[in-house]
Amino acid sequence: MEKVGGNNKNIAHVIAVNMGYGHARPANVMKEFAVGGKVIIANNYKGIPESDRKLWDTGQSFYEKISRFKKTPVVGQGVFWAMDELQRIPEFYPKRDLSHPSLQLRNIYNLIHNKDHMKHLIEKLAKNPKPIFSTFSPPAFAAEYFDYPGEIFCLATDADINRAWAPLRPRSSRVRYFAPNGRVVERLQLYGVPKKNIELTGFPLPTSLIGGVSSSIATKNLARRICNLDPNGIFTSHTYKTLVSELGVRYCESIRTQQAKILNIAFAVGGAGAQREMGIEIASSLKKLIRSKKIILHLVAGVRKEVADYFISELKKLGLESEMGKGVKILIEDTRPKYFAKFDQLMQRIDILWTKPSELSFYTGLGLPIIMAPPVGSQEDFNHHWLEQVGGGIDALDPKYTNEWLMDWVESGSLARMAWNGFIEAPTHGAYRIADVLLGRSNTVHDLPLVV
């Protein structure tokens, strides 16, 4: 299967929620399969009952406020810890039965049972009972509870997950799962989900950045990126034969002959708008390199206008006003679909992605080295561990000295090695594998590593 889409439309009801970007981003990738080509936002769709909207808004507002409040000395850390404890992922070892429902999971089912939460949505979708593909577990649980007549699929969106992702009675549930990595497969089984209900697919990355099963676009971008990230040829001189065997002579010769060009670095702020200050620290440290046309810094504000306004104000204070739109660019859009489209276009040009270990951790599968900002929440701690394990990412050092340590990493070829590791070790073709399952056909891609 060289292309997702074509005649394969109207296959499933694709459901996401607007809570950060972690659930909406993969749903946006799979919207090519969505009924009507649209993603259904469970907490903001046309006709949503006011009671459902209020329940969703309360949870989203609380999470975003706590995420931003975390940086408040002493008190902020304590409040965030209390919230994070409710979502904590238990230690994996020793392996044991973890099927007992958590308080968070019981609360979800109480809302479904006592408040008919999401019943309106499920009854609406049942009029056209295509398979449901949800990137958040509560809509999948509601679909099963309210006897949705079609198949029910749920995508886990992190490298490890807590108990709230598995059904109340997992062994008898008909909810099926797409797992982004091997650890999630094992975790779901510890939670009681039968192995037959779990598909190891990888995370769905944008097909526009892959280029089919052959990965032609990803391979081309990787070759260019390795050239930029290994200007002294240190990494490529040691691994040239391996590069040729995997990428082919044509791409590898381009690596040898191209001149390193201006570096493009993206710093992406999370959906709650946290860590915006780090973007300005990075800009301040890289100021000379930006002015000398050696680096272009892309500050990704997403749909957060207040974050974009903050960037603009602080960049002016740094004396970088003349570089805005040239050496420093801000990505801001008024809707999530527009933002996701522009973000994917930006990833075609990016050499380094700097972000907290969110769902963007999986983008290392495109051959992107990821510099990790501090994790926000238990699930990001596990994404952080996974990204280190596959060798596609590394912790950021002090942002104030980015101009020193970042350029050392470039000069030594370290980031080129991370780009290569991510491309080889992390799943790249998740969207294609998920498409195969939704279409009821056998897997067209067979090179998925079982990375835990």
Q: Is the dihedral angle over the CA atoms 195, 200, 204, 207 positive or is it negative? A: negative
**Can you list the alpha helix ranges (DSSP code H) found in 116-215?**
119-125, 137-145, 182-190
How does pLDDT run across 369-412, given as a tens digit for each residue? Answer: 999 999 988 899 999 999 999 999 999 999 999 999 999 999 99
According to DSSP, residue 171 is labeled G
Interacting residues of 54 by C-beta distance below 8 A, sequence separation 6+: none
- What residue type is assigned to position 105 of the chain? L
Reading the block at residue 359, the tokens are 């769902």
Share of the chain above pLDDT 70, in %: 87
Pairing mode of beta strands 328-332, 198-200: unpaired
Look at residue 451 and give its three-state secondary structure.
Answer: coil
Q: What is the pLDDT of residue 63?
A: 55
CA nearest to 132, candidates 152, 115, 146, 116: 152
Q: What is the pLDDT of residue 442?
A: 72
Domain boundaries, the chain: 13-205+430-438, 210-425
pLDDT at 6 over 50: no
pTM score = 0.91
pLDDT at 253 over 70: no
How does pLDDT run across 255-290, given as a tens digit for each residue? Answer: 666 665 899 999 999 877 778 999 999 999 999 999
How does pLDDT run across 10-67, given as a tens digit for each residue? Answer: 899 999 999 889 999 999 999 999 999 999 999 999 999 999 999 998 866 555 545 5
Q: What is the pLDDT of residue 257?
A: 65
Q: What is the pLDDT of residue 452?
A: 47
Q: What is the pLDDT of residue 58?
A: 82
How many whole angstroms separate alpha carbon 437 and alpha carbon 444?
A: 10
Which pLDDT band, with edges at 50, 70 and 90, does 214 fall under?
A: confident
How many whole angstroms separate alpha carbon 393 and alpha carbon 353?
A: 9
How many whole angstroms separate alpha carbon 355 and alpha carbon 306?
A: 18
Q: What is the pLDDT of residue 245?
A: 81
- What residue type is assigned to position 239 of the chain? T
Q: What is the pLDDT of residue 1?
A: 41
How does pLDDT run across 158-176, given as a tens digit for each residue? Answer: 999 999 999 999 999 999 9
Q: What is the pLDDT of residue 71?
A: 56
How many whole angstroms separate alpha carbon 94 and alpha carbon 111?
A: 33
How does pLDDT run across 330-371, given as a tens digit for each residue? Answer: 999 999 999 999 999 999 999 999 999 999 999 999 999 999
Q: Is the dihedral angle over the CA atoms 165, 171, 177, 179 positive or is it negative? A: positive
As a whole number, mean pLDDT of residues 92-111 equals 96
pLDDT at 82 over 70: no
Which pLDDT band, with edges at 50, 70 and 90, does 198 fall under?
A: very high
Mean pLDDT of the chain: 90
Is the domain 210-425 a CATH 3.40.50.2000 member?
yes
Interacting residues of 228 by C-beta distance below 8 A, sequence separation 6+: 260, 261, 263, 351
How many whole angstroms separate alpha carbon 275 and alpha carbon 267?
A: 10
